[in-house]
A and B are shown apart, each in its own frame.
Chain A
Amino acid sequence: MNLAPRARDLGLTCCHTCGQASSSTTAHCPRCRSRLHARKPDSLARTWAFLLAALILYIPANTLPVMYTSMLGRGESSTILHGVVEFWKAGSWDIALLIFIASVAVPSTKFLALGTLLVTAQRRSTWAQPQRARLYRFVELIGYWSMLDVVVVALVSALVQFQLLGTAEPRLGIVFFGLVVVLTMFAAMSFDPRLIWDSDDDKNLPRN
């Protein structure tokens, strides 16, 4: 198949901010003055660091309570999974599913997907390149939906303020949860999807 040439092979670097092409020797984009890189700097190391940090914080995010609620004197702290189970038992299986997807399925998918992308890029694998490119765009797309629980805890804590009758307060788990979302977003941003295709260079080398 005849594929388009790649900018780096032509000695060009494309500015991500404004789309301007410059010679690879240029340090800053002449049009918007953003710093130029042929590839994101230390992409693999940075992505690993953010991903592992997120993975570690994901443990307290799930085990620590995210919210404390007291109704008529009965107080209880609940974790995210506890909240999912409660919705399920109350018959709101759709909301239970929604929270489960946003808080468990999305972060887990991100960990697995980014891990796969990192390992394959590191081994300069040519396996399933179009699918891996699509996987990366999928990770970018689902990224921030995990913030859902943070929003719910914020709203409930602001609303349920009736002293003796009932109160709700955020707990430490939600902090870890918010940080996991931010860290996984940083991880996805520091991964350079062009690395997926760089293994082709070895294959095509004799042609150049």
Chain B
Amino acid sequence: MTHPAAFVFCEHCDSIYRRHELQRDEVARCGRCCAVLYRGSRVDIDYLLALTLTAAIVFVIANASPVIRIAVSGLHNQANLLQSIVALSHGSALAVGVVAAVTLFVVPLLQIILLGWVLLFARAHRRAPGFVFAMRVLHRIRPWSMTEVFLLGVLVAIVKLSGLLHVIAGPGAWATVVLTVLIAVIARHDIRSLWDRLPGDPTGLHS
């Protein structure tokens, strides 16, 4: 038995409600636990896809260019995200290097790729090949995306080193600022509405 979009559940306390149409910027909250149930603003697929493609470009810049440059008595050095992860994975610290690589690089990259893939087909009112898999992975990895923590870490590292050396924020740092904002804006949209808007094969045999 299925209840298409007529009912909405509170994930936090299992309450069940009849869904009402909301105005833009209105938010429905659970009467029992006050958690947000759903928002009035409908996911605009073109808008979200544009943001995702921008995030993809900015992601490349943020990872390809140095985030911090330092100089001291004629010597200088610079590092980007991946070089920092390699430096962290030194010997016994490999385990934490893997955690950093997953949360700062792999998960944000996967989010951008999978979301872009799903939205590209959603524009044509179609489910992308592997839609079910992509949506499940997107849901699973969401808590593990930590780009904003990296940004704060860059800030702290700059302050930490500026007492001893000459420190400059590189283009990668500015790209990370933009990427953090883009990811935050994208995350405000609940893409789970795509499940209702793009009905799948009614037999359920095809994903």
Contact A133/B33 with A30-B2, A32-B132, A157-B84 known, Cβ cut-off 8 Å: yes
Contacting residue for B152 out of A20, A98, A158, A189, CB 8 A: A98
CB distance from A170 to the nearest CB of B (A): 4
Stretch of B47-55, B56-64, B93-101, B181-189 with 4 or more beta carbons under 8 angstroms from chain A: B93-101
Q: Are A19 and B9 in contact (CB under 8 A)?
A: yes
Contact with B along A163-189 (1 / 0, CB 8 A): 001100111101101110110010001
Q: How far is the CA of A189 from the CA of B46 in the complex (A)?
A: 32
Q: Are A159 and B68 in contact (CB under 8 A)?
A: yes
Q: Are A178 and B75 in contact (CB under 8 A)?
A: no
Q: Are A32 and B136 in contact (CB under 8 A)?
A: yes
Closest A residue to B149 by CB, please name it: A147
Residues of B within 8 A of A87 (CB): 159-160
A33 interface contact, C-beta 8 A: yes
Q: Are B15 and A151 in contact (CB under 8 A)?
A: no
A82 interface contact, C-beta 8 A: no
Contact A4/B149 with A32-B132, A147-B103 known, Cβ cut-off 8 Å: no
Q: Are A150 and B88 in contact (CB under 8 A)?
A: yes
CB distance from B152 to the nearest CB of A (A): 6
8 A Cβ contacts from A39-60 to B: none
A162 interface contact, C-beta 8 A: yes
Among A30, A140, A157, A181, max chain B CB count under 10 A is at A157
Interface residue tally for chain B (C-beta within 8 Å): 71
Interface of A is mostly: helix
Stretch of A9-17, A107-115, A116-124 with 4 or more beta carbons under 8 angstroms from chain B: A9-17
A27 interface contact, C-beta 8 A: no
Contacting residue for B16 out of A4, A17, A162, CB 8 A: A4
Q: Are A159 and B195 in contact (CB under 8 A)?
A: no
Q: Are B149 and A158 in contact (CB under 8 A)?
A: no
Determine the interface band of chain A, counting residues with CB < 8 A from chain B: 35 or more
8 A Cβ contacts from B1-51 to A: 1-3, 7-17, 30-35
Among A22, A134, A144, max chain B CB count under 10 A is at A144
Q: Are A160 and B70 in contact (CB under 8 A)?
A: yes
Q: How far is the CA of A175 from the CA of B95 in the complex (A)?
A: 6
Closest B residue to A145 by CB, please name it: B149
A105 interface contact, C-beta 8 A: no
Q: Are B146 and A147 in contact (CB under 8 A)?
A: yes
Q: Are B72 and A162 in contact (CB under 8 A)?
A: yes
Contacting residue for B99 out of A3, A5, A137, A182, CB 8 A: A182
CB distance from B178 to the nearest CB of A (A): 18
Q: Are B84 and A19 in contact (CB under 8 A)?
A: no
Q: Are A17 and B87 in contact (CB under 8 A)?
A: no
Residues of B within 8 A of A185 (CB): 143-144
Q: How far is the CA of A26 from the CA of B74 in the complex (A)?
A: 68
Q: How far is the CA of A143 from the CA of B67 in the complex (A)?
A: 25
Contacting residue for B149 out of A31, A148, A156, CB 8 A: A148
Q: How far is the CA of A181 from the CA of B146 in the complex (A)?
A: 12
Q: How far is the CA of A185 from the CA of B31 in the complex (A)?
A: 27
Contacting residue for B93 out of A14, A129, A148, A170, CB 8 A: A170
A63 interface contact, C-beta 8 A: no
Contacting residue for A6 out of B13, B35, B95, B135, CB 8 A: B13
Q: How far is the CA of A179 from the CA of B154 in the complex (A)?
A: 21
A196 interface contact, C-beta 8 A: yes
Contacting residue for B77 out of A23, A34, A147, A162, CB 8 A: A162
Contacting residue for A197 out of B14, B70, B95, B104, CB 8 A: B14
Closest A residue to B8 by CB, please name it: A19
Contact A21/B9 with A32-B136, A34-B136, A158-B87 known, Cβ cut-off 8 Å: yes
Among A4, A134, A169, A177, max chain B CB count under 10 A is at A4
What are 7 pairs between A and B in contact, CB < 8 Å?
Answer: A32-B132, A143-B143, A144-B149, A152-B160, A156-B160, A159-B77, A162-B75
